[in-house]
Amino acid sequence: MQNDIPFKLFNTETKQKEVVFPIDGKTLRFYACGPTVYNYAHIGNFRTYVFEDLLRRSLEFFDFQVKMVMNITDVDDKTIKGAKENNLSLEEYIKPYFDAFFEDLKTLHIKPADVYPKATDYIQEMIDIILDLLNKGYAYTGTDGCVYFSIKQFSNYGRLSHLKLQELKKGASQRVNVDEYEKEEASDFVLWKAYDEKRDGKIYWDSPFGKGRPGWHLECSTMAMKILGKSIDIHAGGIDNMFPHHENEIAQSECYSGRQFVKIWVHSAHLVVEDKKMSKSLGNFYTLRDLLDKGYSGRQVRYLLMQAHYRTPLNFTMQGLESAKLSLDRLQSFIERINGLDSDTSFPSMDKTIEDAKISFSRFLADDLNISGALSVVFDFIRNIHSLCDNNALGKQDKKKIIEFLQSINSVLGVLELNKEEAEIPLEIKEALDKREEARKNKNWPLADELRDFILSKGYKIEDSPKGPYVKKA
Ligand code: AMP
Ligand code: ZN
């Protein structure tokens, strides 16, 4: 049904809403810039990841087959600095942040990407691309031993961020060898950063251009092209990644491959606090843990982050979180009411009511992910059904249909608890079950047994199902 409605996304490059369809006619190849695991992610970062998840879920709701890749930046200026200061290897240093990131994704009900490549697993591929760019004359070695991309060699530089010519000229005489720009100016950017013992300690890779490590921009281009192919359908990130990161990704990828790198670029606006971007450097941030410690759930935080349109800045306040909680409570109490329907009455136009709601919900999503429109359809539907319940017009046949409808929209929203039993299982039990699964995968049988005993001691037992183990009251 959804296939009759064209799914449109706003492309930052063309500044137009464009119809999505896969380049290869089969699979949408979707790359999202992932975290630099040098610290715990904050909920500003998660606004972007929740948006990307919502987009991926919506595309799947529209029956697209999606292959999604999110990279993990495990080597850049920040991870090297952290590892060196703490006298740890890069791997040891990033581990707690890496693990916390995946735990947070689960808490926020973000569907796992198909691949989470780590930059350090693709160093040879990055070296190969640099060699190619040097051979073709797009790159040069600076007096500092770093290899740079020469932006004046790429006539399309600025295509994404719509930079003015004047700014580009300035760039021609400038070079930047840090991973992020201080100023919004175009500059030749680093592809390979030469090793400096004092700064980098023991962290370097050998290459034909000397010891060093790849530049951050090159990491994303390489992983995207190696895993998804030279032309990809959708590339997403927060708006701060648009320039210079994504502009530079285009330049180096297209000079390497000779093809258009990305068909549709999508960028999400920031989560802000009093008009300022939530960021580590400003110190105006909350981590997900901070909010869980205050008693909020992952679903409530997800609801807060996803309810505003992705291209509109979202102001974070505790009051906003509280009202997200109230909206979600309304949805949950609706589900409880529906679960209680058990009479033989049935509403003659239930199929039509649901079909209409589903079409309106789909139309809003297909219009550049108009989530507030889609949510308003859900709340209108609920109001309508509540009044039918008030008039005792619904029974168990209707319950089945309504729950199925809610399941289908929840495949997009990911915030509802539709299974009554699941809703009542405490978080610590769900977490113990996940940890037990992890322990079993790692063949750590004593730990797996310990976790099973813990679950039993709390009055729950583990059952198996085709979808994997689950817990229920003993
Ligand atoms: P970083 O770890 O800083 O590279 O950021 C990871 C992702 O989070 C990128 O896609 C950023 O654009 C995004 N991001 C960072 N801060 C915010 C914010 N305050 N609101 C929304 N997205 C953000
Ligand atoms: Zn990136």
Could you tell me if the CB of 71 is within 6 A of ligand 1? no
Q: Which atom of ligand 1 is nearest to the CA of 237?
A: 10
CA of 217 relative to ligand 2 center, distance in Å: 6
183 pLDDT tier (thresholds 50, 70, 90): very low
Please give the pLDDT value at position 170: 54
- Between 463 and 91, the more confident residue is 91
Least confident of 22-31, 235-244, 288-297, 460-469: 460-469
C-alpha distance from residue 431 to each of 107, 168, 437, 446, 470 (Å):
10, 51, 10, 17, 11
Mean pLDDT (whole number) for 428-457: 88
CA of 239 relative to ligand 1 center, distance in Å: 8
Please give the pLDDT value at position 252: 97
Please give the pLDDT value at position 2: 56
Could you tell me if the CB of 34 is within 6 A of ligand 1? no
Residue 130's nearest CA partner among 139, 121, 122 is: 139
CA of 444 relative to ligand 1 center, distance in Å: 36
Please give the pLDDT value at position 420: 64
Please give the pLDDT value at position 470: 80
C-alpha distance from residue 44 to each of 222, 238, 287, 325 (Å):
26, 9, 9, 18
186 pLDDT tier (thresholds 50, 70, 90): confident
- Is the pLDDT at 178 greater than 80? The verdict is no
pTM of the entire predicted model: 0.89
- Tell me the CATH architecture of domain 2-268: 3-Layer(aba) Sandwich (3.40)
Q: Which atom of ligand 1 is nearest to the CA of 272?
A: 19
- Cα 136 to Cα 64: distance, rounded to the nearest angstrom: 37
Mean pLDDT (whole number) for 419-432: 73
- Cα 244 to Cα 223: distance, rounded to the nearest angstrom: 18
CA of 314 relative to ligand 1 center, distance in Å: 13
Mean pLDDT of the chain: 92
DSSP state, residue 246: I
User: Is there a contact between 216 and 245 (Cβ–Cβ < 8 Å)?
Assistant: yes
User: What share of the chain has pLDDT > 90, as a percent?
Assistant: 82
Superfamily of domain 282-413: Isoleucyl-tRNA Synthetase; Domain 1 (1.10.730.10)
- Is the pLDDT at 467 greater than 70? The verdict is no
CA of 45 relative to ligand 1 center, distance in Å: 4
Residue of the CA atom closest to atom 9 of ligand 1: 238
Domain ranges of the chain: 2-268, 282-413, 422-473
| Sole residue written with tokens 């809610």 | 406
- Is the pLDDT at 12 greater than 50? The verdict is yes
Please give the pLDDT value at position 1: 47
Which tens digit of pLDDT belongs to each residue from 245-280? 999 999 999 999 999 999 999 999 999 998 899 998
Mean pLDDT (whole number) for 344-372: 97
Please give the pLDDT value at position 463: 82
Residue 43's nearest CA partner among 310, 322, 271, 276 is: 271
Nearest ligand to the C-alpha atom of residue 44: 1
Please give the pLDDT value at position 428: 78
- Is the pLDDT at 425 greater than 80? The verdict is no
Could you tell me if the CB of 277 is within 6 A of ligand 1? yes
Please give the pLDDT value at position 256: 98
Q: Which of 37, 40, 48, 79 to mutate to test the pocket of ligand 1 (most atoms within 8 A of CB)?
A: 48
Nearest ligand to the C-alpha atom of residue 275: 1
Which tens digit of pLDDT belongs to each residue from 393-412? 999 999 999 999 999 999 99
Beta-bridge partner residues of 29: 67
C-alpha distance from residue 420 to each of 339, 473, 474 (Å):
8, 12, 16
Could you tell me if the CB of 79 is within 6 A of ligand 1? no
Could you tell me if the CB of 29 is within 6 A of ligand 1? no
Which tens digit of pLDDT belongs to each residue from 31-65? 999 999 999 999 999 999 999 999 999 999 999 99
Could you tell me if the CB of 48 is within 6 A of ligand 1? yes
- Is the pLDDT at 289 greater than 70? The verdict is yes
Q: Which atom of ligand 1 is nearest to the CA of 236?
A: 10
Please give the pLDDT value at position 275: 87
Buried b (16+ CB within 10 A) or exposed e, 96-127: ebbebbeebbebbbbeebeebbbbbebbebbb
User: What share of the chain has pLDDT > 70, as a percent?
Assistant: 93
Could you tell me if the CB of 12 is within 6 A of ligand 1? no
- Is the pLDDT at 415 greater than 60? The verdict is yes
Beta-sheet pairing, 139-141 with 27-32:
unpaired
**The dihedral sign for the CA sequence 352, 356, 362, 365:** negative
CA torsion 313→180→285→105, rounded to 10°?
A: 80
CA of 249 relative to ligand 2 center, distance in Å: 8
Please give the pLDDT value at position 187: 87
